Amino acid sequence: MGDSVITPPKLRLDGVGKRYPVAGAPDTVAVDNFSLDVRQGEFLVIVGPSGCGKTTVLNVLAGLDTPTSGTASIDDRVITAPGPDRGVMFQDYALFPWQTVHGNVEFGLRYGPAGANLDQAAREQRVRHTIQLVGLTGSETKYPHQLSGGMRQRVALARLIANEPEVLLMDEPLAALDAQTRIVLQDEMLRIWGQDRSPSERRTVVFITHAIDEAVFLSDRVAVMTAHPGRLKEIVDIPLPRPRGDATRALPQFQALTQQIWSLIRDEAYRAAAA
């Protein structure tokens, strides 16, 4: 899997930096000189200790944050604002509490440009299909406060993909779940992403997690960040075969990759815990 030279990367971060002024102290540098290309159809995971700026990087890609130096671009267009081409999923899902499951999933199609070309019937069909895809059929009329954590995560995912964004940006989406639900949803995530399809047929995903095993299980490549300031330390290729499942976790290569990544951030993690 060499770098493609002919087609431009789907996403490009070029020397991205973000610093915040602090009263009476030197600026806080959240991210420093971060450069990374994300290929079309790739599942890229960013891993790093707390405070390494991974969320800032994601926010820059989403257009919710502007970098103080460098640029972020999608398909060679500079990112300046959020948009439906880059869907975002936050750690605590941020579901609209006054909307049902159906209302949440439908929201972007109803009020945003993603649904501009759809008449009501087509929109309804897409909503139903998406709800079915994430396995929530039968819960359409429930409210978020009536759902379990795993179900809320599915709603957030459904809301995200109903708009059919080209890029999915996810900030620790599985962090709030218990360990068992997490494993189930990791499998679901790969299925929904379409891990058995070719790269040109599937969406590009940038996924943040602090769980290394999750990173190795899901990704094509893992970008390891270090903290203070947030920098890209190394990119690790994950050549594990797809489709992946329970058997993948038992592979010796899986262990080796996990160890390799852990050794990259171990010192950081210990330092962060002592701070």
Partner 1 sequence: MNAQTAGQRALPDRTWGALVYLRTMLVFAVVWALVARWTDNPILLPSPLTVLDAAVALARDLELFEHAGISLGRMVVSISLACVLAIPLGLAMGLNRLFDRIVDPTLEVLRPISGIAWIPLALFIFGIGNALPVFIMTYAAFFPILVGTVAAVRAVDRRLVDVARTMGIPQRTIVTRVVVPAALPSLLVALRLGVALSWTAVVAAELIGAPSGLGYAVEWYRELLATPQVMSFIAMIGVIGYLCDAAVRWLNRRLTPWAQASR
Instruction: Identify which range of 33-41, 78-86, 184-192, 243-251 contacts partner 1 by CB under 8 A.
Output: 78-86
Q: By CB under 8 A, is residue 149 in contact with partner 1?
A: no
Q: Which residues pair with 91 in a beta bridge?
A: none
| Identity of the residue, 35 or 120, whose beta carbon is nearer to partner 1 in the bound complex | 120
Q: How many CA atoms lie within 13 A of 234 on its CB side?
A: 9
* Candidate list 8, 51, 70, 82; residue touching partner 1; CB under 8 A: 82
Integer Cα distance of 142 and 148 in angstroms:
11
175: left (phi over 0), alpha (psi -120 to 50) or beta: alpha
The amino acid sitting at 77 is: R
Task: Take residue 173 and report the two structure tokens written for it.
Answer: 């989406």
- 3-state DSSP call for residue 69? strand
Does residue 97 touch partner 1 according to CB under 8 A?
Answer: yes
144 binds partner 1 (CB under 8 A): yes
Using CB under 8 A, pick the residue from 114, 131, 134, 216 that binds partner 1: 114
Minimum Å distance from CB 112 to partner 1? Answer: 4
Name which of 146 and 253 has its Cβ closer to partner 1.
146
In the complex with partner 1, the residue whose CB is nearer, 86 or 231, is 86
Q: Burial level of 98, CB count in 10 A (0-12/13-18/19+)?
A: exposed
For partner 1, the closer CB: 59 or 219:
59
One residue of 18, 54, 86, 152 binding partner 1 per CB under 8 A: 86
CA atoms within a 13 Å half-sphere pointing along the CA-CB vector of 204 = 16
Give the number of other Cβ atoms within 10 Å of residue 122's Cβ. 12
- Applying CB under 8 A, which residues contact partner 1? 62-64, 81-84, 86-88, 90, 92, 94, 96-98, 107-108, 111-114, 143-146, 159, 163
